[in-house]
A and B are shown apart, each in its own frame.
Chain A
């Protein structure tokens, strides 16, 4: 996927979220990356480090929370981890499921040092 352009978007969101006099105090940026997004976490960390070098966010650490794929069955209401990419309800075998986690690609919070 586009780890570099995603890192750039993350940086943009962080800069919009802190007052400019606090940018250099951003120590941690926490992001959620769902398994279905095909984003490679190590690649994203590397790109984030590269793109923030020489900016007020230099040194900010990217912490990635990996989110697995969870399904919810529309027939029986069961909630389950989608294992081995099999998108059927693991309780009643219905194909009528919705994906309730695994598609996330978001900046959840940042930690600043006062």
Chain B
């Protein structure tokens, strides 16, 4: 009987490619963010509002990830920014290789901020490094206030929380303070923004923060 020591990470191949992506972003001065949330939280709408606000102020490119269709990238195209659609055909999360292939189709020399919209899923994307500078998790008020406790890995691994659909608070069973406290319990360092893509509330604060991050990288 012999024992062979291995000590290799199961996701090492993904991590290697993620490192390469990260290196490339750093070299080109691109601030890359990985937008994660449940399906329907408003990632694409938030992207649209952000692109509108930052038009002319920053050079932004978008990578869209979906199981099927290019519906999201077609929405983003209208804003005149480089956008690449990844269709996973079944995979419920993006992986570093898919992002590597996508960014190969963008001239990163002309990009300040890269926004990667992950597949709608609060579980699996948390484990797959894409090479981003940070994950931004979006929760909408219609999802209730307990989601940070139910999906701790995603909230722990994110740097920013955007609470979206804030205009619907009067109509839903969501206590905003409880939601924030639950999120901060999991990740006390979360930077929190409150937005409504319908009314435009909070879009300025969030976009200006992003712009600031983008110019500092």
Contacts and interface: CB of A to CB of B under 8 A. Distances in A.
A10 B123 CA distance: 21
B4 interface: yes
B10 A99 contact: no
Interface string B170-187: 000000000000001111
A55 interface: no
A18 B186 CA distance: 41
Interface size class of B (residues with CB under 8 A): 20 to 34
Nearest to A99: B156
Interface string A3-32: 000100110011001100000000100010
A114 B2 contact: yes
B8 interface: yes
Contact of A111 (B3, B7, B11, B126): B3
Contacts of B12: 13
B71 interface: no
B187 A37 contact: no
A52 interface: no
B188 A95 contact: yes
A13 B2 CA distance: 17
Contacts of B153: 36-38
B7 A87 contact: no
Interface string A27-57: 1000100001110000000000000000000
Given A38-B126, A87-B156, A113 B1 contact: yes
B4 A17 contact: yes
Contact of B1 (A31, A86, A106, A114): A114
Interface residues of A, number: 31
A108 B1 contact: no
B29 interface: no
A13 B6 contact: yes
B185 A86 contact: yes
A109 interface: yes
A53 B214 CA distance: 50
Contacts of B4: 17-18, 109-112
B9 interface: yes
B74 to A, nearest CB: 29
Contact of B8 (A18, A85, A107, A111): A107
A10 B10 contact: yes
A80 interface: no
A103 to B, nearest CB: 8
A86 B9 CA distance: 26
Given A87-B187, A105-B10, A1 B123 contact: yes
Contact of B149 (A85, A95, A111): A85
11 contacts: A18-B4, A36-B153, A38-B127, A38-B153, A86-B185, A87-B186, A87-B187, A106-B9, A107-B10, A108-B5, A112-B3
Interface of A: 1-2, 6, 9-10, 13-14, 17-18, 27, 31, 36-38, 85-88, 95-96, 99, 105-114
Given A109-B3, A110-B3, 4 more contacts: A86-B185, A106-B9, A107-B6, A109-B6
